[in-house]
């Protein structure tokens, strides 16, 4: 196996181990057993609201365990896949590379979902942008931010729905409200809350001053 491939697989293993640690896979299995026991109780549905909570938690926990177990199985199979591919030739190695790249993306996605574990993190995001004091420059900057976030969402294949845009008199916008519709949009974008300032750097100042 090429050293670069080996190093990449080692890095993926480290990331996946972090995910497994955060999820606490053994505790997850124990929780699933407990929920399955509750779900098997014939009296569970005497309280429909509680029953729905139990079945929803069970379904979510089982899906999480399946995802992380599938990733671990795929990663553990990679050395064997490359060993066989090296015997078969270039096409097989290309297929192994494609699987490795796909696995990297899936592990990265799982890492994001694992780290975003807040109450609302997995929901869609409602984004509101308002220009601050600063006249035309502030309004223009607000529109630049709106375009930036919408292009970011579209680049990742996320749905975007613009609800309202209030344009400034000369250029830019006074405010805009739009939704980013994709799993974990709220958790991903919540770190963007706050004031965003535009700092202009003179191209003629080699010290990077304004």
Which residues, other chains included, contact 29 with Cβ-Cβ below 8 Å and sequence gap of 6+?
A: 65
What are the pLDDT digits (tens) for 32-59? 999 999 999 989 989 988 888 888 889 8
Choose the CATH number for 125-192 among 3.40.50.1100, 3.30.70.1660, 3.40.50.300, 1.10.10.10: 3.30.70.1660
Cα dist from 154 to 94, 143, 164, 181, whole Å: 29, 16, 18, 10
Percent of the chain with pLDDT over 90: 57
Which residue intervals of 41-160 are DSSP H helices? 48-88, 90-115, 135-155
Beta strands 173-181 and 159-167 are antiparallel
64-86 pLDDT, tens digit each: 899 999 999 999 999 999 999 99
How far apart are the C-alpha atoms of 162 and 179, rounded to whole Å? 6
In the chain, CATH 3.30.70.1660 covers: 125-192
Topology at the third CATH level for domain 3-115: Methane Monooxygenase Hydroxylase; Chain G, domain 1 (1.20.58)
Lowest-confidence segment of 159-163, 174-178, 185-189 by average pLDDT: 185-189
Closest CA to 137 of 64, 197, 59: 197
CATH 1.20.58.410 residue ranges of the chain are: 3-115
Higher pLDDT, 32 or 169: 32
Would you say 71 and 107 are in contact if contact means Cβ atoms under 8 Å apart? Answer: yes
Closest to 109 in 3D by CA, of 15, 11, 10: 15
> Do 71 and 15 contact (CB within 8 A), yes or no?
no
pLDDT of residue 204: 62
Average pLDDT in the 160-181 region? 92
pLDDT in tens, 121-158: 778 889 999 998 878 889 999 999 999 999 999 988 88
- CB neighbour class for 174 (10 Å; exposed up to 12, middle 13-18, buried from 19): middle
More confident of the two residues 185 and 71 = 71
């Amino acid at each position: 196996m090429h050293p670069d491939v080996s190093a990449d697989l080692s890095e993926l293993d480290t990331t996946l181990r972090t995910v497994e640690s955060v999820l606490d896979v053994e505790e997850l299995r124990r929780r699933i057993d407990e929920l399955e026991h509750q779900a098997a109780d014939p009296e569970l549905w005497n309280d429909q609201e509680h029953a729905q909570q139990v079945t929803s938690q069970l379904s979510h926990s089982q899906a999480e365990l399946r995802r992380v177990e599938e990733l671990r199985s795929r990663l553990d199979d990679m050395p064997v896949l490359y060993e066989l591919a090296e015997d078969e030739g270039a096409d097989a190695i290309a297929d192994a590379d494609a699987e490795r790249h796909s696995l990297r993306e899936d592990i990265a996605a799982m890492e994001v979902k694992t780290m975003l574990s807040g109450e609302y993190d997995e929901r869609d995001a409602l984004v509101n942008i308002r220009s601050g004091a600063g006249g035309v420059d502030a309004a223009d900057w607000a529109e630049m931010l709106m375009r930036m976030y919408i292009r970011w969402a579209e680049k990742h294949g996320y749905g975007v729905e613009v609800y309202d845009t209030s344009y400034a008199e000369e250029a830019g916008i006074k405010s805009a409200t739009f939704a980013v519709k994709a799993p974990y949009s709220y958790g991903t974008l919540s770190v963007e809350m706050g004031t965003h300032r535009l700092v202009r750097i003179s191209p003629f100042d080699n010290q990077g001053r304004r």
